[in-house]
A and B are shown apart, each in its own frame.
Chain A
């Protein structure tokens, strides 16, 4: 198995002699990953593919939740997954984690470690389990050094008192931080977030996103984030994946998130839509004066 550095070099060498061809068709992705010669066709600037999803289909009983979904994620990407309620965003994350049966292919590159922050935990928060018990349990299962618990707690600013508290008595924001710390145990290379700030007030939400963004910056993580909040999508994501019954789109936020797509996806004009590239220069300077 070649390392990613090797493949980068190979890519560079190939690109000197051969012109990259046009965009690859989705159906060819797998051969592009499997066959080293296929990689020459991708831009030299593109980081290696860390996740390749092909013709993904997820069914519950007779209900088709996800159908024919294909996309690639590159190392270091911040992918926002958006879509109306019930469109299957959570289900998609679970399938990527291997928690649900699915059709099609989900390929993570070798050596990838996944960290998962679920949307909500149905757990009985009255259980006599302290935050530290929970983190220590995961550290134990993964056979990590006990100190790793304090290390991840420090990463998300979880204070010692919180670690000592029962999981039922801490605030929603602290609980969410504890879940992120939990996901960070075992030094994941990819973090999958399912609306990490749902059910939090604005201040706590902002703090959670700050933690996420700082982690991505400092630890060069790849992030897949389910979010309802388009402002977060614009701020952090470099790719957007829309999941809805009628349309599926994938690409850079500005290309994908057109009013037309959003309207088709949510079947109603969005209430709130940031359209930064359309901003008047005058407005921009006004805003800076305020600062």
Chain B
């Protein structure tokens, strides 16, 4: 297989700066995913979360087709998808579930149709590749922005989760906060998009949060546990693909570890 050979070549060059950048960014993404995922889980927007990441597919497809930066293409459709989900959330009378289902399937189909066959697996399930210093810097900046947003607006987000009405009565601009949260969510997906792929980027946001939820009974512990579960999944995922199952792609490995951690968390009686 050409693919696995390419992967082998990449794995041999672990000392290169581009590879180190990529690994560091993967861990930073894990932290951001844990934090954002905790709030996404409490907001009960897991379905929406999946759609948002899938909406990146048509953009990725176009980028592969016309040979421009996949992050640019994915980012563009992600942004549009985010605005769409936001509009749907605002319109309470409209059946969000139905429209999400349509957008979800539609995005995957358009993405699959646009993406050249040889790039399809990468677009869907991600690929581990070296990144440039600039991409790394932008990634770090994005993670910093996400962490800042979560901690700066933590209280407002909690009130909004508890009751949007009480949040509004407290003077929080709920609609704007929702948009900011969705944009933060999309930014997190975008960071993970290349190495997790459009189908699995959302998984690392949701599954560790589900694990964290099992283990926490206060908001602080929840955020910490989700982030730890996410970082652990990425770490173990890297180790497993590097030393045990060398033919395994990184994203499926991470998601499987993540799911395993969740199963382990089920052993503990729910608090």
Chain A residues at the B interface, C-beta cutoff of 8 Å:
94, 97-99, 114, 116, 118, 121-124, 127-130, 133-134, 136-138, 140-142, 166-167, 182, 186
Q: B162: which A residues are within 8 A, CB to CB?
A: 121, 123, 127, 129, 134, 137, 167
Cα–Cα distance between A176 and B144 once the two chains are bound (Å): 39
The 21 listed contacts between A and B (C-beta, < 8 Å) are A97-B168, A99-B168, A99-B169, A116-B169, A118-B165, A121-B162, A121-B166, A128-B216, A128-B218, A128-B219, A129-B218, A130-B217, A130-B219, A137-B158, A137-B162, A138-B159, A140-B155, A141-B156, A141-B159, A141-B172, A166-B217
| Given known A-B contacts A128-B216, A128-B221, A129-B158, A141 and B170 have beta carbons under 8 A apart | yes
Q: B158: which A residues are within 8 A, CB to CB?
A: 129, 133-134, 137
The 10 closest A-B CB pairs, nearest first, are A140-B155, A137-B155, A137-B158, A116-B169, A128-B222, A123-B162, A128-B216, A141-B155, A121-B163, A133-B219
Contact (Cβ within 8 A) A114 B169: yes
Contact (Cβ within 8 A) B165 A94: yes
Q: B221: which A residues are within 8 A, CB to CB?
A: 128
Q: A141: which B residues are within 8 A, CB to CB?
A: 155-156, 159, 170-172
Does B24 count as interface, using CB distance less than 8 angstroms? no
Q: A137: which B residues are within 8 A, CB to CB?
A: 154-156, 158-159, 162
Q: A123: which B residues are within 8 A, CB to CB?
A: 161-163
Most buried by A among B42, B159, B169, B222: B169
Cα–Cα distance between A141 and B167 once the two chains are bound (Å): 9
Chain B residues at the A interface, C-beta cutoff of 8 Å:
42, 44, 154-156, 158-159, 161-163, 165-166, 168-172, 213, 216-219, 221-222
Cα–Cα distance between A239 and B216 once the two chains are bound (Å): 47
B226 → chain A, closest Cβ, in Å? 10
Additional 12 contacts, C-beta under 8 A, given A141-B170, A142-B170:
A99-B165, A99-B169, A116-B166, A116-B169, A118-B166, A121-B163, A128-B222, A137-B155, A137-B159, A138-B159, A138-B170, A141-B155
Closest A residue to B218 using CB positions: A130
Cα–Cα distance between A116 and B171 once the two chains are bound (Å): 12
Contact (Cβ within 8 A) B219 A97: no
Cα–Cα distance between A127 and B165 once the two chains are bound (Å): 17
Contact (Cβ within 8 A) A133 B218: yes
Closest A residue to B220 using CB positions: A133
A120 → chain B, closest Cβ, in Å? 10
B216 → chain A, closest Cβ, in Å? 5
Q: A129: which B residues are within 8 A, CB to CB?
A: 158, 161-162, 218-219
Closest B residue to A121 using CB positions: B163
| Given known A-B contacts A133-B158, A137-B155, A128 and B213 have beta carbons under 8 A apart | yes
Closest B residue to A142 using CB positions: B170
Q: A134: which B residues are within 8 A, CB to CB?
A: 158-159, 162
Q: B154: which A residues are within 8 A, CB to CB?
A: 137, 140
Q: B169: which A residues are within 8 A, CB to CB?
A: 97, 99, 114, 116
B160 → chain A, closest Cβ, in Å? 10
Cα–Cα distance between A243 and B2 once the two chains are bound (Å): 75
Closest B residue to A167 using CB positions: B162
Q: A130: which B residues are within 8 A, CB to CB?
A: 217-219
Cα–Cα distance between A128 and B158 once the two chains are bound (Å): 10
Q: A167: which B residues are within 8 A, CB to CB?
A: 162
Cα–Cα distance between A167 and B219 once the two chains are bound (Å): 12
B222 → chain A, closest Cβ, in Å? 5
B151 → chain A, closest Cβ, in Å? 11
Q: A128: which B residues are within 8 A, CB to CB?
A: 42, 213, 216-219, 221-222
